[in-house]
Structure 1
Amino acid sequence: MDGVTFRRHRRLRTTPTMRAIVRETYVLKEDLIYPLFVLEGENIKNSVSSMPGVYQWSLDLVTEEVRDAVSKGIKTIILFGIPDHKDSVGSCAYDAKGIVQRAIQKIKADFPDLTVIADTCLCQFTDHGHCGVIKDGNILNDESLELLVKTAVSQAEAGADIIAPSNMMDGFVAAIRQGLDVAGFHHVPVMSYAVKYASAFYGPFRDAAHSSPASGDRKTYQMDPANRREAFREAQSDVDEGADFLIVKPALAYLDIVRDIKERQQVPVVAYNVSGEYAMIKAAAQNGWIDEKAVVMEKMTSMKRAGADLILTYFAKDVANWLDERE
C-alpha cells in the first residue's frame, strides 16, 4: 500500500469504550411513551392475540401495570379506552364517567408525577368505527369537531396532562385548543397526530381497541402514504393552530418524514412505533428468525437518529429494561 493515502475510520471502532465515546445517538427512558388499553369490568387482563405481551386492562388491574412501568423508569403513558357501549356519535368518548376519564383520575391519584396523555378520538366509541360523525356515508368534518372538543375538555377535567387528538379532521387542533382555553385549561398541551397516514400497519391496534371501521376505510381523512409535501402542510397547519407536539404515524416506514418534520418545525416530534411494526418483530422473534432485543434497540435508535424527540412504543417496558442492562 506504499503511496496510497486513505482515512482510517476504524480507529474510532476498535473497542466498546471507543465506540461509546463517539456514539452520536442515544435512546433514554425519558424518550418513551407507553400505550395502555383500558376497558370496563373487573379483574380483566385480556391478551391481544396479534400483539404478544400487550393486554387490555380493567380499571382495578391497570394500576399494577402502571406501577410496573413506573418502576422501570417510564415517565409517560398514553391511554386508549374501550367502552361497554357504542353509538353513532361516540358519546362515551366525552362522558365524564367514561372509561378513559375514570382511568385518568385513578392513575393520576396513584401516580401524580406520571405524565398521562389522553388519546382524543371517536373511533373506539362509535358503532361505525370511524373518527367522526357520519351522514349519508360521509364523515362530517365540522360536526365532528364539536364532539372532539367535548372529548378533549372532559379528558382535561379528569386530569390528563396532555391531549393527543388522533382523528385527522381539518381544524381539529384549532378547535381543541380554543375549547381547552375557554374551559380554563390553557396549561394543557396538545400533542397532535399531525402526520397520520392511512397505513396498513394499524391492524393489530384495531384488534386491541375494537376500532375497525364497520364499512369503508379512513382514506378520506388519513393521509396517502405516497405523499411527502402533504405532511409539511398538515404539520404547519397544526403548529399554526397551536399544537405543542407533532406525531408522525407510523414511524418505521416514514423515518424520512420524521426527519423532514424535525428540520422544518420547532416543536418536539413524536415517532409512533405502531402495532403492526410491533407485531412483525414479535412474530419474527418468536420464530427465532431475529434477535428481538438487538432489532428493537436498532429501531429505537433509528427513530431518534431521524429526529424523534419522543417514541410512542409498545416496547417501552422492554426498552427500559434493556437500557438498565446496558448501564
Structure 2
Amino acid sequence: MGTETDVEGATEHCNTVLDAVSRAVIADESTLETVLSGFLSRGHVLLEDVPGTGKTLTARSLASALGLSFSRIQFTPDLLPADITGTYVFNEQTQAFDFREGPIFGNVVLADEINRASPKTQAALLEAMGEGQVTIDGETHALPDPFFVIATQNPIEQDGTFPLPEAQVDRFVVKTSLGYPDEAGERELIDRRAARTDRTPTVGTSAAIDPAALRRAPESVHMEDEVRAYVVSLARASREDSRVATGVSPRATQRLFEVARALAVVRGRTYVTPDHVARIAPDVLAHRLVLTPDARVDDVDKRAVVDDLLDSVPVPTVSYADGRK
C-alpha cells in the first residue's frame, strides 16, 4: 500500500496537469477532472460533443501535460482494422516482413468519431482497449504503457454511423461532454487567441510528473464500508428502475469504486466520501444503462435516471479522522 504522501504528491501533479490543460482548453473544471480521473483509474473516456468544442485539443493537451505520446485516428466507414493496428510490410533488404505500427501505438489515442467506423474496425479497437494489445496475423503486440483512449462521437449526426456495441460502450470507464463554454468562457477564448500568434495553444510538459505513479496513487485511497455499500446500492438500484431494461453490471460497480478513488486523488483526499461517489456516478453509470422501449419512446435521459437514483438511495453519514462527515 502507498502512503498519504503518495496521494499528496499525486494530487499536486494532478493540479499541475489540470492547470496546464485549462490554459489551453476552455472547459468546465469538473469535466477536466472527470477525464483525468478516467486516466488515473486506468480506463478510457468517451466524449460526446458537437464539433468545435475542444475535444481534440483536450486530448492533445492532456498528453502533452503528462509527457506522453499522442496519436489521432479519424474514424470513417472505409477505415480498416489494419489502418488502426498496423500491418506487416515486406522489406526487400532483409527479404522478410517487418511489422509497421499503426496509430493505435500511442500513449494517448484520440479515436475521433468512433461510431463512423464499421463494427469490424470497432472490434479492433475493443481488443486494444480491453487487453492493452493487438493481434495481427496471429501475432500479439503489446501497446505502450500507459495506454489511454479518448473516443469522441457526434450526438447530432447519425447518418452513416454504426452504434457502438454494448461490449464496447462498457469499455469506457466514463462518458462525459465538454459542452459549450459560457459567455465569459467564450470571450476568454477570443482574448487568449488575440494574445498569441499561433492558432492552436501549446502545452508544456513537467518533467517531475510520472504518469505511472499517478495511476498507482488511487490504490492508496481508502473507502469506508458505508461508502462501499453506497456504491453497491446505487448499482443495484439501477436494475430495479422501471425505465431500465438492463441495469449496470457488476463490472460497472467496480468501475464506480475505482473512478471515485481516482477523483479523491484529484481532489486531494486520501479517502472517498459519498460526495465523490455522487459526483462521478452519472459519468460512470449512465452510458451503461439500457432503457426500456417505452422509456426510449418517451426520450428519457439516462443521466436523469442516475440523478433519480442518487435522490432515492440514502446517502451514508461517515465520520473521518480529520473530523469531516
TM-score range, shorter-chain basis? under 0.3
TM-score under structure 1 length normalisation: 0.26
Tell me: higher relative CO, structure 1 or 2? Use CA pairs within 8 A at least 6 residues apart: 2
